[in-house]
Structure 1
Amino acid sequence: MNWTYLILILLATLAGGVIPMTIRRINANFTIYLLAFTGAFLFGVTIMHLLPEVYHELGHSAGIYIVLGFFLQVFLQQLSHGMEHGHTHLPGEHHHHIAVTPLLLGLSIHAFMEGIPLGFKYEDQSALPSLMIGVAAHKVPEALTLITVMIHAHKSKTQLWQILLAFAVVTPVAAILAWWMGNRFDIVSHYLLYVVALVIGAFLHISTTIFYESGTKHHELSGKKVLAIATGLVLAFLTLIFE
């Protein structure tokens, strides 16, 4: 377990949450392009590092769990309302109620799922550091969106920090649990592969939704968003040089 990577993820989450607490008006395009970049990087890492790993170990049955993970994320999205890929769904001028509990539950389950593959031992030596960077990058817009919604839910400064700190530790805790149990119990190490396949499906759902939906009008791809996606994919390709 590389503790430096987990600290990086923790700090990235905190940094993303602090942005809406300190900046009153955030340019909408900043979030759109940040999401596009981080989503593309995570997509590339998933395709180039995680997919080969699970198919090598599980064979064609890996596809079943990847599909299940894809639709598990569809279900979680009903709770989180898509905050993990940038949707805020803020109430209108005359509607101030936000159902906070299901949002936090859905996003926390997603964050826990993100952490499990970080505690897994990969044959590909570049898989773990690449995934760590991808998750850390994705945490910035994820936490930014979460705290933005909580601000509009009229949470106090103290409550905002409590929510942010609690959310920030979910992914590192999941990684530590997966690593500890995987090293202690052989059966857990084996079944972690299936969980990684589920998470791959969730990552594919999130990243492709970011590409074609989040922050765009009529779901079009603007030139700047395409550039952000291309940059994320190029950097993901560059992780292959560490193999």
Structure 2
Amino acid sequence: MNWSFLILILAATFGGGLIPMTVKRLHPNLPIYLLAFTGAFLFGITIMHLLPEVYHELGHTAGVYILLGFFLQVFLQQLSHGMEHGHTHLPPADGHHHHISITPLLAGLSIHAFMEGIPLGLNFGDRSALPSLAFGVAAHKVPEALTLMTVMMHAHQPKARLWRILGLFSLVTPLAAVLAGQLGHYSETVTASLVYLTALVIGAFVHISTTIFYESGTRHHELSKRKILAFAAGIVLAFLTLIFE
């Protein structure tokens, strides 16, 4: 277990959540371009590093678990309302109080965050897979935590509770990675299961990243030049992770 990767993910999550809490006037397009960049980066890493790994280990069976993971994420976003790919669904600023049910939002996003940490405990045959995955997850955590805390602030959560939510959420993915790594170290059954769980997570990554491509845009979800540049930068960075080989 490389603890520096876990610290990076924790810091990225906490830092992303701090943005809406400390910046009074956040540019409305910043989350859009940030999501486009990190979504493309995560998609590239999934295709170039994770998919070959699970197909090498599981053969054609990998496709079944990837498909299950895709639809598992469809279910989870019914709870989180798509916060994983930047949806906030904030109430209109019309001066009326609107209730936001935060329990299912936190449950759905926390389950997703826990899933993200599981592959970090896998012993990859490809040496470049683990550092690439760690950077991809860390990058995705920034807009994910930003969106979460934006919603929590609009739900009028007390300041102290906002800090608790951010702190606990920042720990979820590193905790999942530690549990997967440590349990896998002591149990051959867990070790064998991790590759299947990783295939499920790949399905979730594919769902999230492709949804970002098609939905996380400006009005009418058009592909602006800046959004295309953000996509391109993410893909280029994903290619650069091949230097870890």
Give the TM-score of the pair, scaled to structure 2.
0.98
Determine the structure 1 residue equivalent to 2:240.
238
Which residues in structure 2 correspond to 1:140-179 (within 5 Å)? 140-179=142-181
Q: Which residue of 2 aligns with 1:49?
A: 49
Structure 2 counterpart of 1:74:
74
- The structural deviation recorded for 1:198 is 0.3
SS of the aligned residue for 2:238 comes to: helix
Corresponding residue of 1:115 = 117
Aligned CA-pair RMSD: 0.8
Tell me, in whole angstroms, the C-alpha distance in 2 between the residues paired with 1:97 and 1:214: 24
| Corresponding position: 1:16 with 2:16 | yes
Partners of 1:83 and 1:216 in 2: how far apart? 16
% identity of equivalent residues: 74
Give the match for residue 2 of structure 1: 2
Partner-residue secondary structure (3-state), 1:87: coil
1:101 pairs with 2:103: yes
TM-score, reference length from structure 1: 0.98
Aligned residues: 243
The alpha-carbon deviation at position 95 of structure 1 amounts to 4.7
Please, which runs of 5 or more residues in structure 2 have no aligned partner?
none
The code of the aligned residue for 1:217 comes to R
For 1:219, the equivalent position in structure 2 comes to 221
Q: Does 1:63 align with 2:63?
A: yes
CA distance in 1 between partners of 2:145 and 2:14 (Å): 7
2:35 match: 35
* Structure 1 unaligned spans of 5+: none
CA displacement 1:50-75 (0-9 Å, x = unmatched): 00000000000100100100010000
SS at match of 1:172: helix
Q: For 1:152, give the aligned amino acid.
A: H
| Whole-Å separation in 1 of the counterparts to 2:74 and 2:218 | 20
CA distance in 1, matches of 2:172, 2:217: 26
Of 162, 165, 185, which aligns to 2:187?
185
Report the Cα offset of residue 214 of structure 1.
1.4
Asked if the contact 2:50–2:129 (Cα under 8 Å) also holds between the matched residues in 1, the reply is yes
Task: Find the counterpart in structure 1 of residue 88 from structure 2.
Answer: 88
Structure 1 position 216, deviation (Å): 2.8
Distance 1:189 1:221 in 2: 42
Contact 2:29–2:218 at 8 Å: present in 1 too? no
User: What secondary structure, in the 3-state scheme, does the structure 2 residue paired with 1:28 have?
Assistant: coil
Which stretch shifts more, 166-175 or 220-229?
A: 220-229
**Cα distance, 1:156 vs. partner?**
1.2
State the distance in 2 between where 1:63 and 1:219 align: 30
Give the whole-Å Cα distance in 2 for the aligned partners of 1:25 and 1:166. 25
